[in-house]
Amino acid sequence: MLKALVWDVDGTIAETERDGHRVAFNQALKEFGVPWRWDVQTYARLLRVTGGFERLLFDMEGRAEAPTTPHERERLARAVHRRKNSLYASMVEKGRIAARPGVRRVMDECEGAGILLAIATTTSRSNVDALFASLFGAEWKGRFVAVVCAEDAPAKKPDPLAYRMALERASCAPDQVLAVEDSPNGMKAAAALGIGTLVTRSEFFMGEAFPQAACVCNDLDGAATVGQARVPRIDVDALRAIHAGWVGAGSGQALRDASEKQNIIE
Ligand code: XBP
Ligand code: MG
Dihedral of the CA atoms 218, 223, 228, 229 (nearest 10)?
160
CA-based nearest residue to 189, from 225, 153, 216: 153
Query: What is d(CA 107, CA 26) in angstroms, rounded to the nearest whole number?
Result: 33
Please tell me the distance from the alpha carbon of residue 89 to that of residue 93, in angstroms, as a whole number: 6
235 is catalytic: no
Check pocket membership of 121 for ligand 1, CB cut-off 6 A: yes
Contact (CB, 8 A) for 164 and 223: no
What atom of ligand 1 comes closest to residue 121's alpha carbon? Answer: 14
> Which backbone phi and psi does 44 adopt, to 5 degrees?
-60, -40
Concerning whether 8 is annotated as a catalytic residue, the answer is yes
- Nearest to residue 195, comparing CAs of 174, 167, 176, 214? 174
pLDDT band at 263 (very low <50, low <70, confident <90, very high): low
In this structure, what are the phi and psi dihedrals at residue 48, rounded to the nearest 5 degrees?
-65, -20
Question: What values do phi and psi take at 6, rounded to 5?
Answer: -105, 115
167-217: pLDDT as tens digits: 999 999 999 999 999 999 999 999 999 999 999 999 999 999 999 999 999
- pTM of structure: 0.95
- Contact present, 187 and 199 (Cβ < 8 Å): yes
The string of pLDDT tens digits covering residues 76-111 is 999 999 999 999 999 999 999 999 999 999 999 999
Looking from the CA of residue 122, the nearest atom of ligand 1 is 14
Query: Does the C-beta of 50 come closer than 6 Å to ligand 1?
Result: yes
69 CA → ligand 2 middle, Å: 31
The answer, yes or no, to whether residue 262 has pLDDT greater than 80, is: no
